[in-house]
Amino acid sequence: MCGIVAYLGEQEACPIVLKGLKRLEYRGYDSAGVALIHQNNLSVFKKKGKVTDLEKHLADKAITGSIGMGHTRWATHGEPNDINAHPHFSSDSRLALIHNGIIENYATIRQELMHKGHQFLGQTDSEVLVHFIEQIQKENQCSLFEAVRIALNEVVGAYAIVVMSADDPNQLLAARKSSPLVIGIGKDQKEFWLASDATPIIEYTNEVVYLDDHQIAILQKGSMEIKDISNVPTTPYIQYLDLTLDAIEKGGFDSFMLKEIFEQPESVHNCLRGRLIAEKGHLQLGGINKYIDRLLYAKRIIILGCGTSWHAGLVAEYIFEELARIPVEVEYASEFRYRNPIIYPDDAVIAISQSGETADTLAAIELAKSKGATIFGVCNVVGSSIARATHEGAYTHAGPEIGVASTKAFTAQVTVLLMMALMIAKKRQNVAEAQFSELLYELESIPEKIAKTLKINEEIEKIAHIYQHSSNMIYLGRGYNFPVALEGALKLKEISYIHAEGYPAAEMKHGPIALIDEEMPVVFIAIKDNSYEKVVSNIQEVKARKGRVIAIVNEGDNLISSMADHVIEIPATYDVLTPLLTVIPLQLLAYHIAVLRGCNVDQPRNLAKSVTVE
Ligand code: G6P
């Protein structure tokens, strides 16, 4: 989704803003722009395409100024082109605005403004907002802050905005509702950075303020004021960010995605650290404490998420029902919120989100909360909107995930959900002491097994060479690994643009089998769990129809080796933990196929890392 960066201080703003925009490229975008103030002159430069296209456009321009802002746009209203790119000017070009989100009532406001003589260059809702602020300031002869405040009281929708004015050349105004915005604070408040997430900020400062909904920040050299849109001042809560620059750089890998796949032994380890000590039989999620009884005695658990997080939720359904013996429903947040769901006050809701900013998940949480349910979050981004909207939660501690296709977030989410389920199972006495202890030991050793699984990388690359030109692929798995089949198919389509379908292996007979011929690669998750024999039969059914089988098997599986075209061997583990290993080869397969097809794996077309609009 769109990215916002802004700077106010002593240094040249443009290089800081451009570097920040590059750090936000991972979010997905189609055009970029900057605005700068120099000696009371406000200039805007914008271009369709990448930040490097914008840089080329700026190369021969004399740009200077110690206050500036930049934007990467992911088109919602109006096609991606130079005009619709942000920043947008007011009619008199004295005001400029950047915006993330959607102003839902923009058409009505646009109409009214046109009656008052405003002309619009593009089709965006954001351009309407800056004209609206201009009009309010003119009509009320008020300060820019007041005009922004009045405008935000009128608009319906979601926004994170930054506004600059040639008439207030030492000031940045920023506001948010349902779209994230972080303020980085320099020494003695002499400098400020603003961004959609902390990645453009952490190389300068670790002190940040996450703006809350309906808040407006007024930043000037030496001062930061935050008021809400009713004009009530609030005391900013300054947090210390525990992030390093290494965490958001590629560290020698060709792409963030590959780095993140290979980080999984460490990210899962970090997720377990301090929470699970098998030797002492210790398992504790510090963030789930006050409301634990609501989870323990819940009649039903509803799991909400989108994309990969929804897949982690599906895995959790199997895990919770098996270990905790509580009925679970897994819902796409976007469907749940629009279908008048039945929610009881004794329901526990688990909301899963890597970014903690997905608009649909956030809205679904608010809906469940309004019906009295208790909400637990499983988020990766500390301080994110979802983390703050839930009653309690456990962070995944996977570190920043920059590649658009989610990898290490998935394994960390499953790890947290496993710990939650085991905690409940133990407290509800659904699991025997010995089994509980064995599972703790095995979960503790999973990072090592992930590291071992990653050794198959080169073999997978060879398989990818064979199937790189496929136009379709099917992924099949059962039980805990049915959601992993969905996740494998999602990874492939996201980054290689090959059409792929995930199915429960037994369902193949009810449809997908019609697709199978000698051209169709079928990826089976065929490990030795309780459905092994059934999956072996499914493999035979595919081979009988001349399909090409790539099977993920346990080490030393001679039976499947004799049937499949290719086998990928992974270590054995308990059934309930298998998704943490089986997903790894599927991530690598998608990665290598996409690279061989010349695709940009970190920034796949049309996708956004965090979808902050409906
Ligand atoms: C987008 C991303 C996916 C992600 C989904 C949910 O579609 O491209 O990778 O799984 O959003 O995001 P969340 O941050 O809520 O986990």
Q: What's the pLDDT tens digit per position in 468-480?
A: 999 999 999 999 9
User: What's the pLDDT at 290?
Assistant: 93
Q: What's the pLDDT tens digit per position in 513-546?
A: 899 999 999 999 999 998 999 999 999 999 999 9
Span 400-422, average pLDDT: 97
Helix (H, G, I), strand (E, B) or coil at 553: strand
Pocket test for ligand 1, best of 336, 352, 355, 600 (most atoms within 8 A of CB): 355
Residue 610 covered by a domain: no
Ligand 1 center to residue 386 CA distance, Å? 13
Nearest CA to ligand 1 atom 11: 610
Q: Are residues 413 and 466 in the same domain?
A: no
Pocket flag, ligand 1, residue 609 (CB < 6 Å): yes
CA atoms within 13 A on the CB side of 466: 14
Pocket flag, ligand 1, residue 353 (CB < 6 Å): yes
Span 446-464, average pLDDT: 97
Q: What's the pLDDT tens digit per position in 308-331?
A: 999 999 999 999 999 999 999 999
Confidence of residue 252 (pLDDT cuts 50, 70, 90): confident
Residue 311 token pair? 């897949």
End-of-domain residue from the set 451, 476, 499: 451
Residue 548 covered by a domain: yes
Q: Are residues 240 and 257 in the same domain?
A: no
φ, ψ of residue 428 in degrees (nearest 5): -90, 0
Number of domains in the chain: 3
Q: Are residues 446 and 484 in the same domain?
A: no
Q: Among the atoms of ligand 1, which is closest to the Cα of residue 308?
A: 10
Residue 293 token pair? 């009884």
Triad 199, 254, 451: Cα angle to 5°: 90
Q: Are residues 439 and 460 in the same domain?
A: no
Pocket flag, ligand 1, residue 610 (CB < 6 Å): yes
From the list 558, 572, 507, the residue with the least C-alpha distance to 535 is 507
Res 1 pLDDT > 80: no
Report the mean per-residue pLDDT for the chain: 95
Pocket test for ligand 1, best of 609, 612, 614 (most atoms within 8 A of CB): 609
Q: Among the atoms of ligand 1, which is closest to the Cα of residue 381?
A: 14
User: What's the pLDDT at 226?
Assistant: 97
Pocket test for ligand 1, best of 354, 416, 601 (most atoms within 8 A of CB): 354
Residue 609 covered by a domain: no
Instruction: For the chain, give the percent of residues with pLDDT over 90.
Output: 88
Strand partners, 168: 165
Q: CA 501 to CA 464: how far, in whole Å? A: 17
Res 228 pLDDT > 90: yes
Residue 58: domain span: 3-246
**At 107, which CATH number?**
3.60.20.10
Q: Among the atoms of ligand 1, which is closest to the Cα of residue 307?
A: 10
Q: Are residues 317 and 193 in the same domain?
A: no
Residue 605 covered by a domain: no
Q: CA 7 to CA 13: how far, in whole Å? A: 6
pTM comes to: 0.85
End-of-domain residue from the set 211, 246, 281: 246
Helical H segments across 228-384, by residue range: 256-262, 264-272, 292-296, 307-319, 333-336, 359-370
Q: Is 299 a catalytic residue?
A: no
Pocket flag, ligand 1, residue 332 (CB < 6 Å): no
Q: CA 558 to CA 114: how far, in whole Å? A: 74
Q: CA 361 to CA 390: how far, in whole Å? A: 11
What is the length of the chain?
614
Q: Are residues 157 and 214 in the same domain?
A: yes
Helical H segments across 220-350, by residue range: 256-262, 264-272, 292-296, 307-319, 333-336
User: What's the pLDDT at 249?
Assistant: 84
Residue 183 token pair? 């303020």
Span 79-92, average pLDDT: 93
* Annotated catalytic residue, options 22, 46, 47, 609: 609
From the list 361, 382, 374, the residue with the least C-alpha distance to 290 is 374
Residue 606 covered by a domain: no
Q: Are residues 402 and 479 in the same domain?
A: no
Q: CA 483 to CA 477: how far, in whole Å? A: 8
Q: Are residues 412 and 497 in the same domain?
A: no
Pocket flag, ligand 1, residue 404 (CB < 6 Å): yes
User: What's the pLDDT at 35?
Assistant: 97
Res 6 pLDDT > 90: yes
Q: Are residues 189 and 50 in the same domain?
A: yes
Give, for 37, the enclosing helix (H) or strand (E). Answer: strand 31-38
Q: Among the atoms of ligand 1, which is closest to the Cα of residue 406?
A: 9
Strand-strand pairing, 31-38 and 67-73:
antiparallel
End-of-domain residue from the set 187, 212, 246: 246
Pocket flag, ligand 1, residue 361 (CB < 6 Å): yes
Q: What is the DSSP letter of 178?
A: B
User: What's the pLDDT at 383?
Assistant: 84
Residue 290 covered by a domain: yes
Residue 613 covered by a domain: no
Helix (H, G, I), strand (E, B) or coil at 91: coil
Residue 54 covered by a domain: yes
Pocket flag, ligand 1, residue 358 (CB < 6 Å): yes
Integer-rounded Cα Rg, in Å, for the chain is 26
Nearest CA to ligand 1 atom 3: 307
Pocket flag, ligand 1, residue 413 (CB < 6 Å): no
Ligand 1 center to residue 492 CA distance, Å? 15
Q: How close are the terminal C-alpha atoms of the chain, in Å?
A: 11
Q: Are residues 155 and 294 in the same domain?
A: no
Q: Are residues 236 and 328 in the same domain?
A: no
Q: Among the atoms of ligand 1, which is closest to the Cα of residue 355?
A: 14
Q: Are residues 153 and 301 in the same domain?
A: no
Nearest CA to ligand 1 atom 2: 609
Res 159 pLDDT > 90: yes
Res 574 pLDDT > 90: yes
Ligand 1 center to residue 31 CA distance, Å? 21
Ligand 1 center to residue 353 CA distance, Å? 7
Specify the residue for token string 């909360």. Answer: 369
Pocket flag, ligand 1, residue 101 (CB < 6 Å): no
Strand partners, 475: 502, 523
Nearest CA to ligand 1 atom 7: 307
**At 410, which CATH number?**
3.40.50.10490
User: What's the pLDDT at 309?
Assistant: 98
Q: Is 2 a catalytic residue?
A: yes
Pocket test for ligand 1, best of 362, 365, 406, 495 (most atoms within 8 A of CB): 406
Pocket flag, ligand 1, residue 306 (CB < 6 Å): yes
